[in-house]
Amino acid sequence: MAVNDYIRANQDKFLNELLDLLRIPSVSADPKFKNDVISAAKFVADAMEKAGADLVEICETPGYPIVYGEKIIDPSLPTVLVYGHYDVQPADPYELWDSPPFEPVIKNTKIHPEGAIFARGSADDKGQFYMHIKAFEAMMAENELVCNVKFMIEGEEEVGSDNLEKFVVENKERLKSDVILISDTHMISMQNPSITVGLRGMAYMEVEVIGANRDLHSGTYGGAVANPINILCQMISSMLDENNHVTIPGFYDKVQALTEEQRKRLNAAPFDLNEYKEKLDIADVHGEKGYTTIERVGIRPTLDVNGIWGGYIGEGAKTVLPSKANAKISMRLVPDQDWHEIATLFEDYFKSVAPKSVKVKVKSHHGGSPAVVSDSSVGYRAAEAAMEETFGKRPIPTREGGSIPIVALFQKELATDPILFGFGLDTDALHSPNEHYGVKNYFIGIETIAAFFKKFRDLSQS
Amino acid sequence: MAVNDYIRANQDKFLNELLDLLRIPSVSADPKFKNDVISAAKFVADAMEKAGADLVEICETPGYPIVYGEKIIDPSLPTVLVYGHYDVQPADPYELWDSPPFEPVIKNTKIHPEGAIFARGSADDKGQFYMHIKAFEAMMAENELVCNVKFMIEGEEEVGSDNLEKFVVENKERLKSDVILISDTHMISMQNPSITVGLRGMAYMEVEVIGANRDLHSGTYGGAVANPINILCQMISSMLDENNHVTIPGFYDKVQALTEEQRKRLNAAPFDLNEYKEKLDIADVHGEKGYTTIERVGIRPTLDVNGIWGGYIGEGAKTVLPSKANAKISMRLVPDQDWHEIATLFEDYFKSVAPKSVKVKVKSHHGGSPAVVSDSSVGYRAAEAAMEETFGKRPIPTREGGSIPIVALFQKELATDPILFGFGLDTDALHSPNEHYGVKNYFIGIETIAAFFKKFRDLSQS
């Protein structure tokens, strides 16, 4: 079809535009990148306009703006709403990057023999949402747009989408659609395309354990005064038992148990444990007793320390008994755990296990609800058919361990099941140094999205 | 006596010289201060020379130099060897200092109503070893030096005195003396002078727990791959039981048990638990079951994490499952624990409790042996008499929790019991922000040292 010809003819242009977007260090978690995050929003608005969108608007929020744009070709046709985010994770530790995180380079890898773009945000999510703008451009250019389209690209996904809910609630009419597309997940592999139908939620906590009112000499006071690091380690350790079950009372109360049949289907997905261990260079996996690796990331909740610090961390030895110790701890949640409730259970438990010799502070960062989406809706079937056309293989439904809290939000507020139409791979090093996104994935994604519009129109009208 | 007149007449000069020495950031642990550490050595050599020492020499070592100087007035008189160190602890965290650590200021405090010098190294150990050079200057000026004197001031005490042992062994003849004075400890209070007769030893370890070969997304992998921070916390936690006993097998095997009588005497020292807690702003002390606070720091070994780090420690939230986590862990030791042996026991244990899902690295930093010195030697009795003269109260012998590994070294190599002639207070914030040393402590120290020389000569000849 003409759209694919256009995409193939414009590969260099499509790639260079993405590289320009990746050069903007739009790290939403760190205030020092504030101007860059705002530049990224402008970039996105410009790109939408150039591709042919109407009513493009950089919608201000108390945080970073949401970029909206649309093209209504015929109100009687089905409408596709695209969600994505232009903000990225922090890039530290910088020293572990083989090339600077905001100077994208294309290199061949074993998994991406046709090249991958190395840059923070290449897969999460700039490279993925930008495919939608390019597919739209191609359909517009070739006069083959067969559904109405709306874009909502936000800038706070990596810090909890704090201002999105209000925007969605206040703009229900404007955001009305028949399907929502989100490309912010991964497939099993290029040979085994898949569509994510389950995501975990998250509660993200930060804790501080405080001992004496100042750092002390570990000789003069050691053994007699609480060491906040020792205590923090004990408290963290007490939250997981020997089977790697979380011990916080009530933590599992609302966890949905899957039937044996459901578990069997889940475990039928292609998965090679040896290859998995080899890629990560680990001698063994590590997780909750009684569950497979696929289940541990797909249908079971977790408790992971994402960061810890306290005392002297410079070179050499310093014999300090520190005044305090801190940690960032997140819990991935599964249906029907409620993140506000889990955050409260965590806080109560953490305070209850603190010895009298220390004070503790607990703070809740952003959180999000877990979600499961239908694998039989019109949208899902259109996505399935589009992928089958471009990959030559029918995709399978999977559950992914990550969190996209807005999925549950969209389900609730817009009453529409999003399609998690991700084209990345789990080896793309999301949130890690050397994040990358396959060049081939980028282009096949654009073609698949264009194919989706046709399939969705057809299935909607049949 | 004339010496005291000289000291009182020269207070401003003595104080200003010390402030100049404190302005040199001689942090031995951090290579970026290398030139400053060397400047401090030169300062000390100059000061010795100006005070009247002969044969002053900056003795090179593979690390920082040892400054030696002596004044032999009559080989038939007793000889006093003074040991001290011109290097200081790192000053971080800088932001917790009320004034810059290397810009000394004098401020009054509740405990030091006549002023205290705030600067890194003011009490540990610049302010304390410098008293000896000033006492020497006064005795020389007034022609009242009644013992020979030798100085050995090193620059690597805060990093384990790695090159001192070789120097001592190779210079046994030059260092020959009848008593060794070390002012690097504290007294109970100005009202309750004391002399330290016991010090703990130390083994200082650094550990690394390694999971996957890169930082991972805590959603995609969380629950299935070992989190090195969780594991490190568990491993650390496993090293102390619910009674705060160290669980490392063999750890207590060589710990000397004190008799009930010895414990009773130790606990008779003035100590107010409420005041102790109040000063530290803690609701409760925290330590090994079955021992008092005095015992916990004086006669019992410990295991303290001095520093921990891993994952994301910046602002906000990052959902990373880190590739590794690190900690610095030190153990204070008591007679007859051997630090090499304890370091090995630690390493064996740490490796044995690591799950298969991680790799661990263990490294031993410097260590030192615990020591107990006589409280009835001629040197001790001279120190006791000197303090009684200047403080108006007989000092009591105490055991201090800190470590001065060279005490055991001197006992072994020079066959001389050092006198731990410290004039600081335990509230002086050694190794902490806002370290300080009382102006009054500084001057009374100088007078007491001068008094010691007379008492020691008299008692040696009686």
User: What DSSP string runs through B306-346?
Assistant: EEEEEE--SSS---EE-SEEEEEEEEEE-TT--HHHHHHHH
Residues of chain B neighbouring A26 (CB-CB closer than 8 A) = none
Which two structure tokens, joined as six digits, stand for A322? 């520190």
Q: Which of A235, A280, A284 to mutate to test the interface with B (most CBs of B within 10 A)?
A: A280
Q: What is the interface size between A and B, counted as CB pairs within 8 Å?
A: 378
Could B285 and A225 be called an inter-chain contact, meaning their C-beta atoms sit closer than 8 Å? Answer: yes
Interface residue of A272, A431, A434 to substitute, partner B, most B CBs within 10 Å: A431
Strands, E assignment, B349-420: 359-368, 371-372, 396-400, 418-420
Q: How does strand A424-425 pair with strand A186-187?
A: parallel
Measured between beta carbons, the chain B residues lying within 8 angstroms of A329 are: none
Task: Return the SS3 of B126.
Answer: helix
Q: In terms of C-beta density within 10 A (0-12 exposed, 13-18 middle, 19 or more buried), how is residue B272 classed?
A: exposed
Nearest to B233 among A200, A305, A316 (CB): A305
**What are the extents of the domains in chain A?**
2-199+370-461, 201-255+301-366
Cβ contact B219–A316 (<8 Å): no
Q: State which H helix or E strand residue A455 sits in.
A: helix A439-461
A window 114-153, beta carbon within 8 A of B: none
User: Is residue B374 within 8 angstroms of chain A, CB to CB?
Assistant: no
- On whether the CB atoms of residues B195 and B398 are closer than 8 A, the answer is yes
| Class in CATH terms, A201-255+301-366 | alpha beta
As a whole number of angstroms, the distance between CA B131 and CA A386 comes to: 84
What does the alpha-carbon distance between residue B407 and residue B95 come to, in Å, rounded to a whole number?
Answer: 34
> What is the tally of helices (H) and strands (E) in chain A?
13, 20
Residue B84 corresponds to which tokens in the numbers above?
């001290």
Helix axes A378-391, A439-461, angle to 10 degrees: 130
User: CATH number of the domain at B204-255+301-363, please?
Assistant: 3.30.70.360
> Which of A403, A270, A271, A397 lies closest to A335 in space, CA to CA?
A403
Residue pLDDT tens, chain A, 462 long: 689 999 999 999 999 999 999 999 999 999 999 999 999 999 999 999 999 999 999 999 999 999 999 999 999 999 999 999 999 999 988 999 999 999 999 999 999 999 999 999 999 999 999 999 999 999 999 999 999 999 999 999 998 888 999 999 999 999 999 999 999 999 999 999 999 999 999 999 999 999 999 999 899 899 999 999 999 999 999 999 999 999 999 999 999 999 999 899 889 888 999 999 999 999 999 999 999 999 999 999 999 999 999 999 988 888 899 999 999 999 999 999 999 999 999 999 999 999 999 999 999 997 888 999 988 999 999 999 999 999 999 999 998 888 887 898 999 999 998 999 999 998 899 888 999 999 999 999 999 999 999 999 999 987
Of A229, A285, A359, the CB nearest to B225: A285
ipTM higher than threshold 0.85 = no
CATH number for B2-199+370-461 (one of 3.50.30.40, 3.40.50.1220, 3.40.50.2300, 3.40.630.10): it is 3.40.630.10
Whether residue A284 and residue B357 make contact (CB cut-off 8 A), yes or no, is yes
Give Cβ neighbours of residue B157 (< 8 Å, ≥ 6 apart).
B28, B85, B87, B125, B184, B404, B406
Residues of chain B with pLDDT under 50: none
Taking CA–CA distances from A237, the nearest residue in chain B reads B234
List C-alpha distances in Å: A269 to A374, A397, B134. Answer: 18, 9, 80
Q: Which of B92, B304, B420 to mutate to test the interface with A (most CBs of A within 10 A)?
A: B304
DSSP E strand boundaries for A190-231:
194-199, 201-210, 216-217
